[in-house]
Amino acid sequence: MFKNFLILTLKGIRYRPMRSWLTILGIVIGIMLVVIILSLSGGIKNAVGKQLQMFGSNLIVIFPGKETNPLIGFLGDQSFRERDLMELEKIKGVKTIVPMEVRVMNIEYKGEKKSILVHAAPWRGMIEVFEQAQGLRLQEGRWPINDQANEVVLGYLTINKLFKNKVRLGDEIIVKSKRMKVVGYVSEIGNQMDDNTIYISMDIFRNMTGIRGRERSAFAIIKPGANINLVAKQIKFSLSKQEVVRDFSVITPEKAGRLVGNVLSIIEFILMIIAGISLLVGAVGIMNTMYTSVLERTRQIGVMKAIGASSDSILSLFLIESGMIGLVGGILGIVFGVTASYIISFIAVKFGIGNLFSFASLDLLGLFVILIITFITGIVSGVLPARAAAKMEPAEALRYE
């Protein structure tokens, strides 16, 4: 009997194809969002993790401002006194303190002007930070010979894609009206901001800007074997004694991972809520369609009862219909969601973010659970309208115009 009811229901759905497909679309959108979030969140976490790994395991970052606003901290107005930062080298476990400045500056190459991030630090410290951080290597060329040389090292995208003409080693670039020679460039980091950058020495930076005795941030390179968390605490304690920068952050790689993880989790949670709401709207859509279907088919319900259908049979027919709409929506949502995840991942590669999605990493059990949920959602959405249909007296339904 179930097989016959299923065939009957499918014929009924095909009778009003536009309405059925529009209702299914409501479910497809919700499921597609859920599948995209689930498929990509693992990849995103891995990509961010990979970025953080480049940070290096023996580096501590010190910058003004609260932990929750790292970018504002890096690009804001507050600066530490240089002597307060260099004082930190006295802490046991600290190998070197590398003061760092990060500013947006104007640069010009063959008449073309751009604004990019400039990283300034003493060259020896900068090279040591790069060596600690995995993935940051000099790709081609050389480091500048000393801190007074008018030489710069470029980021991967700066040399290859920033300007209309690809920059060559040995070419001249104008940074804040000062002519500088390009002597090398670093390997690709994997994000737009870090790859579109330029590295200069702290001395050159001070000459350009006139800023002396103050630095916005610093890297602390930790001695091998030292307890990084303990050193971080000591750095924090030492800096708390200075009064120039009230709020500051001391971030170890582990803490950075946790902070980013928290943010990603919150974003994931919010997206899942949005997806859940979208699915709820889809479910309401099914209920609306089923109520309309019951109204439209009132007479037919009367006829079916007249020719022997029980209330349970009528209930079954409508529940199968709403369940089928949910199930088909779920199947299509999964197919489109997986396809969209693949496309997003493909596009992300062009922006330097790889491995966001792979078919091998698909959680098949999770997808199956999603299918069950959409089927049940369809059935539950159809319960009230189906009961209204089943309750009708045949004569009452037959009288309906």
Partner 1 sequence: MDGKFFDPVCGMDLSDIEDVATFSSGGEEFRFCGDYCVNRFKKNPGKFQNEPLIKLREVRKVFKMDGAETRALRGLNLNVWAGDFTAIIGSSGSGKSTALNMMGMLDRPTGGKIFLNGKNTSRIEDIKRAKLRSDMFGFVFQQYNLIPWLTAYENVALPLIFAGEKVNKQKIETGFREVGMSDRMDHRPFQLSGGEQQRTALLRALANEPDIILGDEPTGNLDSKTGGIILEMLVKLNKEKKKTLVIVTHDADIANMADQIITIKDGKTIRNHGKHKKTYTA
Q: Which residues bind partner 1 (CB under 8 A)?
A: 1, 4-5, 8, 11-12, 14-15, 299-300, 302-313, 393-396, 398
Which CB atom, from 160 or from 311, has the smaller least distance to partner 1? 311
Which CB atom, from 363 or from 393, has the smaller least distance to partner 1? 393
Q: How far is the CB of 308 from partner 1 (least distance, A)?
A: 3
Which CB atom, from 117 or from 397, has the smaller least distance to partner 1? 397
Q: How far is the CB of 301 from partner 1 (least distance, A)?
A: 10
Which CB atom, from 247 or from 393, has the smaller least distance to partner 1? 393
Which CB atom, from 159 or from 315, has the smaller least distance to partner 1? 315
Q: How far is the CB of 317 from partner 1 (least distance, A)?
A: 10
User: How far apart, in whole angstroms, are the C-alpha atoms of residue 196 and residue 202?
Assistant: 19
Q: How far is the CB of 395 from partner 1 (least distance, A)?
A: 4
- Report CA torsion sign: 275, 279, 280, 284: positive
Q: How far is the CB of 298 from partner 1 (least distance, A)?
A: 12
Which CB atom, from 112 or from 393, has the smaller least distance to partner 1? 393
Q: How far is the CB of 401 from partner 1 (least distance, A)?
A: 11
